[in-house]
Amino acid sequence: MTDARLRRGRGALAFCFLVQGVAFALLVTRIPAIQDQYGVSDALLPAFLAGVPVLAGVGSVATGRLVARVRPSVVLRWAQPVVLVALAAVGAGQQGWQLAVALGVFGLAVGALDASMNMLGVSLQAAYGRSIMLGFHAAYSLGGIGGASLAWAGAHWGVPLGLSYLPVVAVLLPAALAGSRWYVDGEPARDAGEPGRGVGFGLLLPLCLVMAFAYIGDSTVSNWSAKYLQDVLGGSEALATVPYNAYMATTLLGRAVGDLGVRRFGAVAVVRGGALLAAAGFAVVAGAPGAWVGLAGFTVLGLGLSVLVPQTFAAAGRLFPGASDAAVARLNVFNYVGFLIGSPLVGVLGDAWSYRGAMLVPLVLVLVTLVYARSFGGGAARYGGGHERPRTVDVG
């Protein structure tokens, strides 16, 4: 595999992550507008929203089986356009059944997309012989910031949902298809004929738990930061919109420089540092005397949580070099498990106890990551300063 081909594959995959960040942010940040357009009641809305991650989990599991017969790049090439078309369909419909179908397709395709693009990221990192996984997720964060900004502009100027989504899809869909020609698959797994063979769940379980804990923390910020800052810490409505943006910005920063940290200090040290930073952020949020201190806590959270998910996927690839696709597909399901658990958990605890107390739950869960940090090391296969495997060429 030539260095030029790897560089093209890396750039194409980074663009794929960016497009996915844009698409997902456009959906989740316009939920109130979607609810108004389709007349979905507050009682029914959680069922619509929960259906997306549930079906995404199904799509991820199905992808784990499909890639035993079809290369991950093929799945990715067609899953991303389906996600974009489904997004456009969400904006174009008017009736509840149309929303249900569009979100169902979106969920299944997102599961296939998340699984296959992380499969390619893991295999590319193995080909490079050094940490590059955080860079892909940095592209996703950048896309999320871009998508949220586009959503804000559409809401601010009163652009109808369909007209807000359609131009974005019209630009990104052909660009994604064009970029997909450069995707690079890794070497076929030795056990490709039997999906999941060679993936010991006992060995994978610590990474699954870390993935779920990270997404419980992430969903806590995305779903509760605005309410917490305004209702608990007494911030203004305008200031309440800032924590998530600050969180996304520091997530992007952490991922942009994270690969350098892994190469210098190793994955175990970076994961431990990220877990401690995230726990410190939650502690500041829980104990904040006012809105500005709470905002600082959410900002620190972004730096800490930013490294956990990419390194979890990378660790799965190192632990199961002959079955990395199956391992990534199984691990990806816990992304959605964390997302489903996090928001309701904080809400129930906040109503029954206090929202300050509810913030201690993700704090404790993130700290549990320290117990499993050694699962992110891989002996001679560990990526980091003094630990990269030998290679004959530098591929950029």
Which of the 8 DSSP states describes residue 95? S
| DSSP letter (8 states) at residue 389 | P
341-348: long-range contacts (C-beta < 8 A, 24 or more apart)? 341/212, 341/216, 341/219, 342/215, 342/216, 342/217, 342/218, 342/219, 342/220, 342/223, 343/219, 343/220, 343/223, 343/224, 345/216, 346/220, 346/223, 346/224, 347/224
**DSSP E strand stretches across the chain:** none
CATH architecture of the domain with range 1-181: Up-down Bundle (1.20)
What is the distance, to the nearest Å, from the Cα of residue 259 to the centroid of all Cα atoms in its chain?
17
The C-alpha atoms of residue 377 and residue 386 are separated, in whole angstroms, by: 13
Q: Where are the domains of the chain?
A: 1-181, 200-386
pTM: 0.90
- Token duo for residue 258: 């994270």
pLDDT of 46 reads: 83
Instruction: Answer for the pair 281, 228: CB distance below 8 angstroms, yes or no.
Output: no
Q: Coil, helix or strand for 308? A: helix
Q: What is the mean pLDDT of residues 247-272?
A: 95
Please check the confidence at residue 393 and state whether its pLDDT lies above 60. Answer: no
**8 A C-beta contact, residue 109 and residue 376:** no
Distance from C-alpha of 187 to C-alpha of 132, rounded to nearest angstrom: 18
Check residue 238 and give its pLDDT: 82
Q: What is the mean pLDDT of the chain?
A: 90
Q: Report phi then psi at 336, rounded to 5.
A: -75, -30
pLDDT over threshold 80, residue 102? yes
pLDDT at 49 (0 to 100) = 83
pLDDT tier at 31, thresholds 50, 70, 90: confident
With pLDDT > 90 as the criterion, what percentage of the chain qualifies?
Answer: 76
User: Given pLDDT bands bounded at 50, 70 and 90, which one contains residue 241?
Assistant: confident
DSSP 8-class letter at 232: I
Banded model confidence at residue 229, pLDDT cuts 50, 70, 90: very high
Q: How long a stretch of residues is the chain? A: 396
pLDDT of residue 382: 45
For residue 360, the one-letter residue type is: L
| DSSP at 396 | -
Tens of pLDDT, residue by residue over 302-327, are 999 999 999 999 999 999 988 999 99
Level-2 CATH architecture, domain 200-386: Up-down Bundle (1.20)
Q: What DSSP string describes 24-43?
A: HHHHHTTHHHHHHHHT--TT
Q: Examine the pLDDT at 385 and tell me if it is beyond 70.
A: no
Angstrom distance (rounded) from CA 171 to CA 165: 10
Tokens 């738990």 correspond to 209
